A and B are shown apart, each in its own frame.
Chain A
Amino acid sequence: MLKINNLYAKVEGNEILKGINIEIKKGEVHAIMGPNGSGKSTLANVLAGHKNYEVTKGEIIFEGQNFLELSIEDRAKEGIFLAFQYPIEIPGISNYTFLKTALSEIRKKNSLEELDSKEFMEMLKEKMKILNMDEAFIQRSVNQGFSGGEKKRNEILQLLMLNPKLALLDETDSGLDIDALKIVSNGVNVFRNENNAVLAVTHYQRLLNYIVPDFVHVLSKGKIIRSGGKELALELEEKGYDWIKE
C-alpha cells in the first residue's frame, strides 16, 4: 500500500528526515516510536503533504502512485488520513458541516453519490456511539472548546466517517486517561480490516497495548535505527531509547 524509499525532508532549512525506508502492506499495523524531536510528526506531515516540509530526496509511493506530486486534499481523497497530534479548532463550522463536506468530497472521488442528510446522520450517530460521544457534538463547532480527550475522539470520529485506506495516528494517546485511551483505541480497532492499514506514531508504548502493531520502527534523529515486531516496543519501554542508540 505505502512505500517510503530513502526519504529526506527539510523544514525551514533543517534536514529532519534523513533516509527513511518503510513498507506498509494491507492489513498491517506499523508503529513508529522515538524520543521527542526525532521527526515522527514530520514524517506524518510529509506523508499528508504539508507544504512547510520540503522533500529533498526519495519517494513516497501510495497504491502504486507517486504521492509527492499530489496536493494535500488529493492525498486525502486517495485514502490517507492523518489524526493530528494537535487538532485545530474551527469556530463557526459545525462538526456536521465539516464532516459532511469532507465525506462528500471523498465519495465524489470514488464515484459515490453524496449521502442525504438522513443517511449521513445515521452513519454519524452509529460512529459516535462507538466512541461514546454525546450527540451534542454534532452541532458543536469543530474542536472548539473541546477537552484534549474530546479532540482526540473527534479525530477518530473523522477517521471512522472518512474510512481511508491508511490511517496515520500522531500521538493519538497523548493526553488521554486510561478510559479514554481504551475508547479511542477501540475506535481504531473498529476501523481496521484486512484492506486497510495503520501507521501509529507514538512516544510511549502504552497505546500499543490496545492497538497491537505488526511492526515497530524506532526513529532517532531522522533515521530508522531499528525495526522489529511488537516485542521491540516492550523492550524499549523497559530499557529506554538510549539502549538502542548505543
Chain B
Amino acid sequence: MDKDKIKDFYLHQIEMFGNSNVNSLLKDIRDSAYDDFKSSTFPTKKNEDWKYTDVTPLLLKKFSRIDGVIDNINLDNFYFNNFPNNLIVFVDGIFSQSLSKFENDNFIIENLANLSFQNQELLKKYFSDFLSKKNIFTLMNAVFVNDGLFIFIPDNTNIDIPLQILYLNGKSKNALITPKNYFYIGKNSSLRIIVNNKSFNNHLYFANDYFDVMLDKNSKLDFYNIQNENAFHYSYTKFLMNFDSKLTHFSISLDGKFIRNDIVSELNGENIECNLNGLYLAKSDNLVDNHTEIIHSKPNSMSNEIYKGIMTDKSHGVFNGKIFVSPNAQKTNSFQSNKNILLSKNAKVDTKPQLEIFADDVKCSHGATVGTLDEQAKFYIKSRGISEKVAEKMLLKAFACEIIEKINIKEIQKHLSKEISNLVIDKNNSEI
C-alpha cells in the first residue's frame, strides 16, 4: 500500500457506501465533515502536533467500515462484572441491543443509528457543531460515522450506578471503527462512566472514536477511558465545562499497538475543577501518545493534571500537555505533572509541557521526569528476602499508586494493579 494513496482508498469507500440507510443525523454529521476531510492530508512529523509520532504504520494498512450488528458473543471475559453497572455494548463500533443490559428510568441513553427524531433534535440543540475540533482523524471519524452513543442526563439527576460502555473491537478483520459519542450532564447532576475498549481477538483494526462531553452548571462527572487492545487507536475527547462543575477523568492505556489520545478540556466558567489523570503502559514496539489541552477561559478555576507512564521493551511514550490561560482567567490554579519510568534501555519517552499563560495573577506549576526504578529502593526490598521481580512489581505499583488510589471503583483498581504487575515477566507469576 502506498501511503500517499490511502486517502483515495478511504474516499472511494465513502462514495461506495453513500448515505442511504442512515438517519438524518448521521447524514448531517457526515456531510458536515466531507469537504474538509477531502481537502486535508495525514500529518507527518513536520506537523507540530505530530512531532514525536509517526503515523506511517497506520497509513500502510487498509481498514474498512463494518456493516451490521454482531451479537452472538460471550462477553464474560471482556467487561467489568463484579460491581453493579449499566452495560452498553458496541461490537466493532455498532451498538448491540441484545448484549447490553441497562435501566434508565430517569435519563436518556440511545445509540445514534437508532436515535429517535425527538432525541436527534435534543442532540443538535446541545451539540450544534457536530465536531468541535477538525483534524484529519476527527474528520475521518465524522465522515465514516455509523453509530455511537447519546447520553442525556437531565438537571438535578444523580445516577448512582456506573455506566460501562464496552467497545469490543476487532470481531471483523481490518475493521475501521468510528463511533461518535455525545454526553450531556445536566445542571446539578452526576454520573460515572467507564469506557472499556477491548480487543476481541488479535485481528488488527483501527478504532477512531470521538467523545463530545458537556458538563453543565454544578454537575459532576467521573470518566474512565480504558484502552486494552492490540490495534491502532485514535481517540478524541472534548469536555466543555460550565460554572461549578467537576470532572475527574482517567485516561488509562494498558495495551495498544498505536495509541494517540487527544483530550481537550475547556473550562468555560468559574469555580470549575478539572482533574485529568493518565496512566499509560507500553510494551514491545508499541506507541502511546497523549496530547492534552486545558483551556482556562474564565477566572477562579482549577485544573490538576497527573500523567504517569511505564515503558518497556522498545516502546515509545509521548506526553504533550498544553495549558492555556486566557487574559481574563485570573486566579487560575493549574498544576501539571508527567512522570515516566523506562524499564528498558530501548524504551523512550518524549515529554513536553506547553504553557501559554496570558493572565498575571495565577498559580501554575508543572514538572516532568523520566527515570528508572530506584536502585536503593530495590535494594531495600530485596534485603528482606523478596525477589528482584517482585521488588520491581512493588516499585511499579508504588509509582502508579498516585493514580490508582484516586480510582473509586475497586475492581478497576485491582485490574490496573494486575496489569502493572504483568509488565514484569516473572516465571512464578507472583501477585502482590
A interface residues, Cβ below 8 angstroms from B: 45, 48-52, 71-73, 75-77, 81-82, 84, 87-88, 90-93, 97-98, 101-102, 105-106, 109, 141, 158, 162
Contact = CB atoms under 8 A, between A and B. Distances in A.
B405 A92 contact: yes
B383 A91 contact: no
A92 B398 contact: yes
A87 B383 CA distance: 12
Contacts, number: 78
B397 A92 contact: yes
B377 A88 contact: yes
A73 B386 contact: yes
Interface in B366-403: 374-377, 379-388, 390, 394-395, 397-398, 400-402
Contacts of B402: 91
Contacts of A81: 383-384
B311 to A, nearest CB: 19
A48 B388 CA distance: 14
A68 to B, nearest CB: 16
B377 A76 contact: no
Interface residues of B, number: 26
Contacts of B381: 88, 90, 98
Interface centre among B380, B383, B385, B400 (most CB of A within 10 A): B385
B404 interface: yes
Nearest to B380: A88
A93 B394 contact: yes
B16 interface: no
Contacts of A72: 379, 382-383
A91 B394 CA distance: 9
A75 B404 CA distance: 33
B73 interface: no
A106 B105 CA distance: 56
A242 B109 CA distance: 82
Contacts of B398: 90-93, 141
A101 B426 CA distance: 15
B397 A73 contact: no
B382 A73 contact: yes
A149 to B, nearest CB: 18
B384 A158 contact: yes
B1 interface: no
B385 A91 contact: no
Contacts of A76: 382-386
Name the 8 nearest CB pairs between A and B, nearest first. Answer: A92-B401, A76-B385, A102-B384, A88-B380, A72-B382, A105-B385, A73-B382, A106-B385
A197 B308 CA distance: 44
B432 A97 contact: yes
Interface centre among B397, B402, B404 (most CB of A within 10 A): B397
Contacts of A73: 382-383, 385-388
Contacts of B379: 45, 48, 50-51, 72
